[in-house]
């Protein structure tokens, strides 16, 4: 019998859904025109891009003209932040973000901080949540932009973006949210949210890698980072990546149907079974992030007195794919900036493990993980340098 394989790293990336792949394939060869060409080959490609834009827009309650396709979620984050900072005509220099952002946001803010902006990083509570009061205290008359992620990729906590956005509206600052972890997984409706810009990425929602989108509310001015042929309303030049855009559109269509099939409830039940099972079976382990205000597919724990990296490797050997800390910082010995911002000490945060479920995760998968995980921890603790200390 084949050994069981359980992929629990869906926050890092998801597999392309079969329907998505099938929708994409003709656009690599049979329908390979440039969407900007006026002949039939071009028109066929243009039609596909338009339809995909409608599907992505409709997933988040936006208008198609408010969606700009980009080369990734990271590219959309950069476009939102640099594009709106450089477009400001009032000379405002103060920008705000949180201490738990993805590197695509955090490093962009740090860079702007060295290049003419004044940056405030908002602290978070013990769940990794940005409290609206902290934004109220930090926001100023010269605050141009606030960017706070919708849900955190490392600990799954969902931020109160409705309240945060409302504070920005009141004070005349732009509000951007990185919604890469939420779109396609929980309802996101910009027609009901005080959000000016919102980032999405296809590969976190069963679409292809290397394609993202930025929602830009009608009337918001941003400058392009890439000049050229004027594609994407002049905001992101470059020939449209037709196949990937089609894949993103199909993934959005699938996700909007999933809202109705109860996938959110199904996966969150499995998540709770996993998290409850882990803390019941592994002594000195605890859940990181918020228990209820969290992504339905997202589990994260800390196992005291050992390294998450060691767990990752032994879980991998058992056919289970998880991550320790954030994927971007793994391999380095720097503890996660998210866990440190939540108040965890260095040693404890080294024992962090993230287990993120997907559409194909089953009860049997969870049973298998709950069988394999505790003995791995026991073994590692016997070998641990922290033993007895």
Ligand X SMILES: *Cc1c(COP(=O)(O)O)cnc(C)c1O
Active site amino acids: 328
User: Which residue, 285 or 288, has its beta carbon nearer to ligand X?
Assistant: 288
- 207 scored as a contact of ligand X (CB under 6 A): no
Rounded to whole angstroms, how far apart are CA atoms 97 and 135?
9
**CA distance linking residue 64 with residue 54, whole number of Å:** 5
DSSP readout, 348-388? HHTTEEEEE--TT--HHHHHHHHHHHHHHHHHHHHH-TTTT
Is residue 197 at the binding interface for ligand X, with CB under 6 A as the rule? no
Which of 326, 348 has the CB closer to ligand X?
A: 326
Which residue's CB comes closest to ligand X? Answer: 73
Q: Does 247 bind ligand X (CB under 6 A)?
A: no
- Per CB under 6 A, does 244 bind ligand X? no
Q: Show contacts with ligand X in window 120-179 (CB under 6 A).
A: 149, 153, 178
- Please give the size of the binding site for ligand X, defined by CB under 6 A: 15
Q: Quick one: which H or E segment has residue 53?
A: helix 40-59
Q: Is the CB of 204 or the CB of 350 nearer to ligand X?
A: 204
Q: How far is the CB of 201 from ligand X (least distance, A)?
A: 4
Q: Which residues contact 122 (CB under 8 A, 6 or more apart)?
A: 96, 97, 98, 99, 130, 134, 135, 138, 148
| Nearer of residues 206 and 373 to ligand X, judged by Cβ | 206
End-to-end CA distance of the chain: give it in Å, rounded.
42
* Nearer to ligand X (CB atom), residue 100 or residue 377: 100
Give the footprint of ligand X on residues 56-115 (CB under 6 A): 72-74, 77, 102, 104
Residue 300 binding ligand X, by CB under 6 A: no
In the bound complex, what is the minimum distance in angstroms from residue 261's beta carbon to ligand X? 24
Q: Which of 301, 105, 297 lies closest to 182, judged by CA? A: 297
Among 67, 180, 188, 302, binds ligand X (CB under 6 A): 180
Residues in the chain: 389
Beta pairing, strands 94-98 & 143-147: parallel
Q: Which residues bind ligand X (CB under 6 A)?
A: 72-74, 77, 102, 104, 149, 153, 178, 180-181, 201, 203-204, 212
């Amino acid at each position: 019998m084949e050994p069981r394989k359980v992929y629990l790293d869906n926050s890092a990336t998801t597999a392309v859904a079969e329907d998505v792949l099938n929708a994409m394939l003709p656009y690599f060869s049979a329908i390979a025109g440039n969407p900007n060409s006026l002949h039939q080959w071009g028109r066929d490609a243009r039609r596909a891009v338009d339809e995909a834009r409608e599907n992505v827009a409709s997933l988040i309650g936006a208008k198609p003209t408010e969606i700009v396709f980009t080369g990734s979620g990271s590219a959309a984050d950069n476009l939102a932040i640099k594009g709106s900072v450089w477009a400001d005509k009032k000379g405002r220099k103060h920008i705000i973000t949180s201490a738990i952002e993805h590197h695509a946001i955090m490093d962009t803010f740090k860079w702007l901080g060295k290049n003419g902006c004044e940056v405030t990083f908002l602290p978070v509570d013990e769940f990794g949540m940005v409290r609206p009061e902290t934004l109220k205290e930090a926001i100023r008359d010269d605050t141009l932009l606030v960017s706070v992620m919708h849900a955190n990729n490392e600990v799954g906590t969902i931020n109160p973006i409705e309240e945060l956005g409302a504070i920005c509206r009141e004070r005349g600052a732009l509000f951007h949210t990185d919604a890469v972890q939420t779109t396609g997984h929980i309802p996101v409706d910009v027609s009901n949210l005080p959000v000016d810009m919102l980032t999405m990425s296809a590969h976190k929602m069963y679409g292809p890698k290397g394609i993202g989108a930025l929602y830009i509310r009608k009337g918001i001015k941003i400058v392009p980072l890439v000049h050229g042929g004027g594609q994407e309303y002049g905001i992101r030049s470059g020939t449209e990546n037709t196949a990937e855009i089609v894949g993103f559109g199909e993934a959005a269509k699938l996700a909007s149907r999933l809202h109705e099939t109860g996938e959110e409830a199904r996966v969150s039940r499995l998540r709770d079974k996993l998290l409850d099972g882990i803390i019941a079976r592994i002594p000195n382990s605890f859940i990181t992030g918020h228990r209820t205000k969290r992504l339905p597919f997202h589990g994260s724990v800390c196992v005291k007195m050992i390294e998450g990296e060691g767990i990752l490797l032994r879980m991998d050997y058992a056919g289970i794919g998880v991550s320790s800390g954030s994927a971007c910082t793994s391999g380095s010995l720097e503890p996660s900036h998210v866990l440190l911002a939540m108040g965890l000490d260095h040693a404890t945060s080294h024992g962090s493990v993230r287990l993120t479920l997907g559409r194909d995760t089953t009860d049997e998968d969870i049973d298998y993980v709950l069988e394999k995980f505790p003995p791995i921890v026991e073994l590692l603790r016997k070998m641990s340098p922290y033993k007895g200390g």
